[in-house]
Amino acid sequence: MTRKLLGVAVASVLTIGIVPAHAGDAVEKQLQEYRQAAQMFGKTLKGELQAAMKSGGPTAAVEVCNERAPEIAADLSEETGFTLRRTSLKPRATEPTSWETAVLLDFEQQRAAGTAPADIEWHEVVEADDGKELRYMKAIGTEGVCLTCHGGNVDPDLLAKIEKLYPEDRATGFEEGDIRGAFSIHASLDN
């Protein structure tokens, strides 16, 4: 049994069954689609957050993130047929599943070993109820601008707004270069 994480066999996270050679093309094709969907999600949300920051400051950005991030994920999921979401070990809204938690913990080990978040991704093929499923995660790095809402010194008025929108929030205390979370995508594997 093997699994791939940036081309390195890693036994500490999850394992998958050996994928037949003919399935390799289908996996790679679908991975490229996943990467494009994750990039589109990130680009769309970042653009809307930047516009909100410019027009109304951090409070407006938090409101946009609260309303638009789930809508963007739902729209992309509907458009692609994939289940697409963002999650984190310290989530603001979306708790990780058990397999996402294992991958996020592995991502943290990679970052601690010096790998940049932008270079960290993972995938596996698993047997699901309706056939094989391809799971994918791509790390989301914490940039300087993220610290306004996710750092260790969030403005008290902004923090009050965050707590109102996200009563169970744990997504603060990050530093630049940390893994803020990950895009998570899964769907039946096209053969």
CB 14 within 8 A of CB 4: no
In this prediction, residue 98 has a pLDDT band, given cuts at 50, 70 and 90, of: very high
CB 182 within 8 A of CB 140: yes
Handedness of CA 51, 53, 54, 60 (dihedral sign): positive
In this prediction, residue 23 has a pLDDT band, given cuts at 50, 70 and 90, of: low
At 185 the pLDDT is: 98
The average confidence (pLDDT) of the chain is 89
Residue % of the chain over a pLDDT of 70: 87
At 191 the pLDDT is: 52
Task: Tell me the residue length of the chain.
Answer: 191
Please give the structure tokens belonging to residue 58: 């951090």
* Residues β-bridged to residue 123: 4, 136
pLDDT over threshold 80, residue 1: no
- Domains of the chain by residue range: 4-188
Q: Would you tell me how many other CB atoms lie within 10 Å of the CB of residue 120?
A: 22
CB 136 within 8 A of CB 182: no
Distances (CA, A) of 114 to 62, 64, 72, 108, 178: 30, 33, 31, 10, 11
> Which candidate, 115, 118, 161, places its Cα nearest to that of 141?
118
In this prediction, residue 176 has a pLDDT band, given cuts at 50, 70 and 90, of: very high
In this prediction, residue 30 has a pLDDT band, given cuts at 50, 70 and 90, of: very high
* Residues β-bridged to residue 138: 121, 183
In this prediction, residue 7 has a pLDDT band, given cuts at 50, 70 and 90, of: very low
- The average pLDDT across 112-129 equals 96
pLDDT tens per residue across span 123-169: 999 998 889 999 999 999 999 999 999 999 999 999 999 999 999 99
Q: Would you tell me how many other CB atoms lie within 10 Å of the CB of residue 123?
A: 23
Q: Where are the alpha helices (DSSP H) in the chain?
A: 23-80, 98-112, 147-150, 156-165
State the number of CA atoms in the 13 A half-sphere of 150 facing the CB.
Answer: 24
pLDDT over threshold 70, residue 16: no
Q: Which residue has the tokens 């081309």?
A: 7
pLDDT over threshold 90, residue 17: no
pLDDT tens per residue across span 42-87: 999 999 999 999 999 999 999 999 999 999 999 999 999 999 999 9
* Residues β-bridged to residue 124: 135
